[in-house]
Structure 1
């Protein structure tokens, strides 16, 4: 299949493109900066460019992974987010319908599920989040535009019969978090595998599963499976370390060897069970695998690169 992959120079794109090729697909990469997997340089916000790419390359399906992201809020205007994340998605959907495609995969984010109340940790229990959670009240322009783009995917699926899978991915970026403080980068990422992280490799594999099994319109949370149960949400909010220790008795000793700390409180947990049920996808790397690496001295099973620079930042700084 001839697949248009947007965001092909980005962190996900560099892992997703070779996996698509290994699966026998022909990949045409589109991004705003050059990259190993990028064939066309330009923005999805340019309707004429999108139409030309479809015409020149005989595109048969789209994986739309390109976007302005949360860290870009400090560098780009709200209008730029609307142009890229909303209008760009609309351009691709219209081109896919005009080309009579039967599938469209959209990379979304669990970030749009986090209201300001959840962000500030209100309430006495952690919030267990699956695809039925709502009402959705994104807390920034990034989340607002990604939610709007999901709505466009829903409309085009319903009105044009486009099989569309929306993948709300949890965190898989390699750089330091731009808001969290008090934990080292690797320590923070390890902790997040308990409730809101996955590897970029697993994120890429989820897209392949969605490409194979997309049917109708469905939204999927894509995250490492949490070791917890919904009945533990109150304890996770008040004393997460004790709950974690019940599941993993040697975790304190393993963490001590690295001078790492467990979270005192966990405020939200993403539940990816629907993706396993309907797509047959389950993330390979979870918190248990992180602890296995600590026990054996093997490399950590996730990427941590404080010096990673996104395509949007590279473009802005020349």
Structure 2
């Protein structure tokens, strides 16, 4: 299958493009920045470019992973987010429908599920989040535009029967958190495997699974995150005494963390439930919190990427242009 992959030069794209090729697909990479897997340099907001690409390349499947992201809020005005994340998605959907594309996978984000109240963790218990959670009130332009793009995907499936899967991905970025620095980057990432993180490798695998299963699913929207070790009955204890809840399942976790100079989370305010994608697509992340502890126990490298100096190709390109 010839697959158009937007965002091919980005963090996810550098893992997803080789995975697609290993599965036998011909990858047409598209990105605003050049890269090893980018055949077309340009923006999805360029409608004429998108139309020429579909008309000339016999695209059969689309993975739309390119976007302006939350850290880009500091670098780009709101209308740029609308142009790329909303109009760009519409350009791809219209071209896909017009040219008989057999499947469309859209990379969304769990961020759009987080209201200001959830982010502030004002609830008395941890908030359990799945695909039915709402009402959705995204707290910034990134979330607003991703939410709008999700609804465009739903609309095109309804109107054109375009098989479409939306993946609300949890965190998988390699760099430091751009707002929270209370813990070291590695410590914070390790903790997040309890409730809201996955590896970039697992994220790529989820996209491949969605691409393969989209025609039989029709339309699906799924949270993609490492499976949480907790259940809904623990939301109160997770908020008030997370270390005790963690130690009940992983008795040696406190000692392993102490040996590395790390801290377990005092409380957990929200949890992403990824059960639906496992149920419907048979996909489950390979790396979870148990895998992190296993690496600590054996003295192996951590099973996730951490690169404090990572800068996306698009940001590097923008810096050169200034």
TM-score, length-scaled by structure 1: 0.99
Aligned residue for 1:317, secondary structure, equals helix
- Residues 72 and 312 in structure 1, CA contact (< 8 A), matched pair in contact too: no
Aligned residue for 2:222, secondary structure, equals strand
Q: Which runs of 5+ in 2 are unaligned?
A: none
Counting only pairs closer than 5 Å after superposition, residues 73-112 of structure 1 correspond to structure 2 as 73-112=73-112
Cα separation, 2, equivalents of 1:200 and 1:74? 24
Q: Deviations over 1:64-120 (max 9, x none)?
A: 000000000000000000000000000000000001122100000000000000000
For residue 146 of structure 2, what is the aligned residue in structure 1? 146
Q: Which runs of 5+ in 1 are unaligned?
A: none
For residue 137 of structure 2, what is the aligned residue in structure 1? 137
Match of residue 278, structure 2, among 276, 288, 294: 276
Q: Deviations over 1:284-307 (max 9, x none)?
A: 000000000000000100000011
Match of residue 311, structure 1, among 305, 310, 313: 313
Cα RMSD of the aligned pairs, angstroms, is 0.6
Counting only pairs closer than 5 Å after superposition, residues 181-192 of structure 1 correspond to structure 2 as 181-192=181-192
- Residues 102 and 161 in structure 1, CA contact (< 8 A), matched pair in contact too: no
Match of residue 257, structure 2, among 252, 255, 258: 255
- Residues 33 and 315 in structure 1, CA contact (< 8 A), matched pair in contact too: yes
Shift of residue 22 of structure 1? 0.3
Counting only pairs closer than 5 Å after superposition, residues 48-127 of structure 1 correspond to structure 2 as 48-127=48-127
Aligned residue for 1:303, secondary structure, equals coil
More moved, 210-219 vs 36-45:
210-219
For residue 208 of structure 1, what is the aligned residue in structure 2? 208
Cα separation, 2, equivalents of 1:92 and 1:66? 11
Shift of residue 314 of structure 1? 1.3
Moved runs in structure 1, 4+ residues, more than 2 A?
none
Cα separation, 2, equivalents of 1:187 and 1:140? 26
